[in-house]
């Protein structure tokens, strides 16, 4: 696993430099869903500092076992409104907010915990009826509504594009998310700072970096196949 982590890190650096970006602007989220606390612990020792988890209970168990300082946990799964409270308790960044209803719940619980919850808006950039995420054309309105909330801070956008064998085929979707971010920056109030783009997984993260990703979410290429 140490070897895989080093390989991914150097590929990220190379991809960034090759397209004229500062590699430090790209953060690696190691996706540890279904992987044991022991494997996560090994990944921490190999230099991983951000983990992405998809299931609240599984994440809670791991986070309790692994109390390392300087390790940050991100939620990247589908979040149900009734899990908003533990999500706020456990995660530094929630990548998958796609409705005002969910954001209001997060805002309520964050307020009670005296925390400002950082979030990304999950956009259904491929307009796939089977997928979570808000549609592109509704995103600006949602960001405007969320900018009024005191305990929620929108940091950027996230997407899971349709799957293609050939990563080149995902490029238009990544590029569309970036354009949407640029449009939102132009249209929203000055205090809304939307910088992050969470896009790119094991198969297509290099293309995502070329298109402006600031978070790449990588599971299989680090931890191996999931069962």
Ligand X SMILES: *Cc1c(COP(=O)(O)O)cnc(C)c1O
| CB 96, min distance to ligand X, A | 7
As measured in angstroms, the least distance from the Cβ of 148 to ligand X is 27
On whether the CB atoms of residues 75 and 59 are closer than 8 A, the answer is yes
Q: Nearest Cα to 197, choosing from 178, 184, 179, 180?
A: 178
If DSSP codes are grouped into helix, strand and coil, which group holds residue 74? strand
Please identify, using beta-carbon distances, which residue of 35 and 181 lies nearer to ligand X: 35
Phi and psi based region of residue 200 (left: phi greater than 0; alpha: psi -120 to 50; beta: remaining)? left
Q: How far apart are the first and last CA of the chain?
A: 17
Nearer to ligand X, 188 or 202 (CB): 202
- CB closer to ligand X, 151 vs 170: 170
> For 50, phi and psi rounded to 5 degrees?
-125, 130
Query: How far apart are CB 98 and ligand X at their closest, in Å?
Result: 12
The two three-digit tokens of residue 136, written as one number: 């592109």
Provide CB contacts within 8 A for 73, sequence distance 6+. 50, 51, 53, 59, 63, 90, 91, 92
Q: Which is nearer to ligand X, 207 or 218 (CB)?
A: 218
Q: Which is nearer to ligand X, 81 or 202 (CB)?
A: 202
CA 103 to chain centre: 16
- Residue pointed to by tokens 């991809």: 15
* Shortest-Cβ-distance residue relative to ligand X: 219
User: What's the token pair of residue 207?
Assistant: 């293309």
Task: List residues near ligand X by CB under 6 A.
Answer: 31, 33, 54, 76, 160, 201-203, 217-221
CB of residue 208 to ligand X, shortest distance in Å? 11
Least Å distance between CB 172 and ligand X?
Answer: 19
């Amino acid at each position: 696993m140490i070897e895989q982590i080093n390989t991914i890190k150097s590929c990220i650096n190379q991809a960034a430099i090759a397209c004229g970006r500062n590699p430090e602007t790209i953060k690696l989220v190691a996706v540890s869903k279904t992987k044991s606390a022991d494997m996560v612990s090994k990944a921490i020792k190999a230099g991983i500092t951000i983990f992405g988890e998809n299931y609240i209970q599984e994440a809670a168990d791991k986070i309790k076992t692994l109390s390392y300082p300087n390790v940050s946990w991100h939620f990247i799964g589908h979040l149900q409104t009734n899990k908003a409270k533990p999500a706020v308790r456990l995660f530094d960044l929630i990548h998958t907010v796609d409705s005002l209803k969910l954001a209001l719940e997060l805002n309520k619980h964050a307020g009670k915990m005296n925390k400002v919850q950082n979030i990304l808006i999950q956009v259904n950039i491929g307009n796939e009826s089977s997928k979570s995420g808000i549609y592109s054309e509704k995103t600006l309105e949602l960001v405007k509504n969320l900018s009024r909330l005191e305990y929620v801070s929108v940091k950027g956008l996230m997407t899971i594009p349709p799957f293609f064998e050939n990563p080149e085929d995902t490029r238009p979707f990544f590029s569309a998310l970036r354009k949407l971010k640029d449009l939102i920056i132009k249209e929203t109030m000055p205090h809304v700072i939307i910088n992050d783009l969470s896009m790119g997984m094991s198969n297509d993260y290099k293309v995502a970096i070329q298109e402006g990703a600031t978070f790449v979410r990588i599971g299989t290429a680090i931890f191996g196949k999931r069962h």
